[in-house]
Structure 1
Amino acid sequence: MMISLFDQFASPKLIGISLVFIALMVPLLFPNSFPRLTNNRFFTTQTWLINKFAGQLMTPLNIGGHKWALLFTSLMLYLISMNLLGLLPYTFTPTTQLSMNMGFAVPLWLATVIVGMLNQPTSSLGHLLPEGTPTLLIPVLVIIETISLFIRPLALGVRLTANLTAGHLLIQLISMAVLVLLPMMPTVAFLTSTILVMLTLLEVAVAMIQAYVFILLLSLYLQENI
C-alpha cells in the first residue's frame, strides 16, 4: 500500500522515455494551433494576467528591485506549469521533490541576502537586532534572528513540497476509496467521487497559489534588502 501510494512521485517511463518529457513536448505537435504572430483572446488574457502580476509584485519594491521582475515572473509561470503537470494522467509533479525546490529557494534567497549586504549592509545587519532591545537579550535575539534568516530557504522549499505532496496523496487515497466502494455501495462511491472532483479542483487552485506564494515570499525577502 505504501509503495503504491508513493509511486506517483517517481517519474513514469515508456520504452525508457520519461512521460513527463513527452507531456512537455505535446504542445509542439500542434504548431499551427496558436500562431506566434497572431494575437487572440488567449494570448491577450495571458499577457494581461502576467502584467497584472508583475505590477502587483513590483509595487512595494523600489526601482532597484524592478530588474527582478522578469526572473520572478518566469519562475512563477514555470512553477505553475510544473505543479499543474502532476495533475495529468501518467505524469508526476517535479515540484514534489524537495531537492528541486531547494535548488530554486537557496540560490534566490542567497542572492537577496548578497544584494542587501552589498547595497545597504548596515540596514541588512540591523534586521538581526530589533531597535530598543534590552542589553541582556541582545546575544539571544541575534542568535534567534540569524537562525530565522537561514531557515527561510528551507521553509520555502518544504512549504511547496509538503502542500503538493499532501494534496496528491489525498487525491489518490480518495480515488482508491471510490474504486473499493463502487461494487459494494454505489451511492457512497458516487458521493465520494463528488468529493474527489471538488478536491481535484482545489488542488488546481493550490498548484497556482503555492507558486504565487513562493514568489511573493522571495519578493518580500528582496524588499528587506533593496
Structure 2
Amino acid sequence: MNAYLGEFLGTMILIMFGAGVGASINLKKAYAQGSGWVMIAFGWGFAVMLGVYTAGYFGAPGHLNPALTIAFAAGGLIKWSIVPGFVLAQVAGAFLGAAITVLHFYPHFKITKKDEGNSVAIFATVPSIENQTFNFISEVIATFAFTLCLLTLGDFTAGLKPLIAGFLIAAIGFSFGSTTGYAINPARDFGPRFAYAVLPIPNKGSANWSYAWIPIVGPIIGAWLATILVGLI
C-alpha cells in the first residue's frame, strides 16, 4: 500500500508545484504574473523532481504518470496487476493537488476573469495552434523522447536521479513543449482539468473537454513506443 500512497502523494506534489506556476503566471495581482516560458519549463521540472522524491520516500517507483505505468506494464517492466491502483492514485493525487492550488490562489481567481487569464491552461494543457492531428503527434513525440531518456536512468527515484528527471522535463519543455504545453502525462492533465471543471472557481472559463483526449492518448502511445524500442535493443 505504501507504493500506492507514494504515487498519490507524489502526483499531488507534482500538481501543487506545477499548477502553482500556472496560477502565478496567469492570475492577476500574483507577483509572477506575466513571467515567461523559462519559468514554466523550470517550474514543472522542479515539480516533477519533488514529486518523484516524495513518491520514492514511500517506496513507490515515482511514475506519477499513467502513460509510464501502462507502458512499463506493456513492456514487462512491472506487473499489470498494479496498474489500476497506480493510475487511480495518480489521477486522484492530481485532482487533490489542483484543489489545493485553487484554495491557495482563491483571492486571485476572484479578481481574474476568464479573458484575463483565469483559464483551464493554469491546470491543464491547451495547444498554441489547435490542429488535433498535429497536437496528437506532438504529444506522442514529446512523451516518446521523455520516456526514452527516462529509461536510461534505471531507478529514477535514487540519489540525484529525480533532479535529472526534473531537468529532463525542463528540456522537453524547451524543445517540444511550446506546441501543446507538453502534457506527457494523462493524470497531470485530466485530474486538474476535471478539478477546474467541477470546483467552484469564480470567473472560470471552459475546461475544453473536446481537446482532453489528446493529452491522454498521445502520451500513452508515446511512452509505449519508447518502452518497446528499449525492449528490442
TM over 0.5: no
Q: TM-score range by the shorter chain?
A: under 0.3
- TM-score under structure 2 length normalisation: 0.27
- TM-score under structure 1 length normalisation: 0.27
From the CA coordinates, give the structure whose radius of gyration is larger: 1
Whose helix proportion is higher, 1 or 2? 1
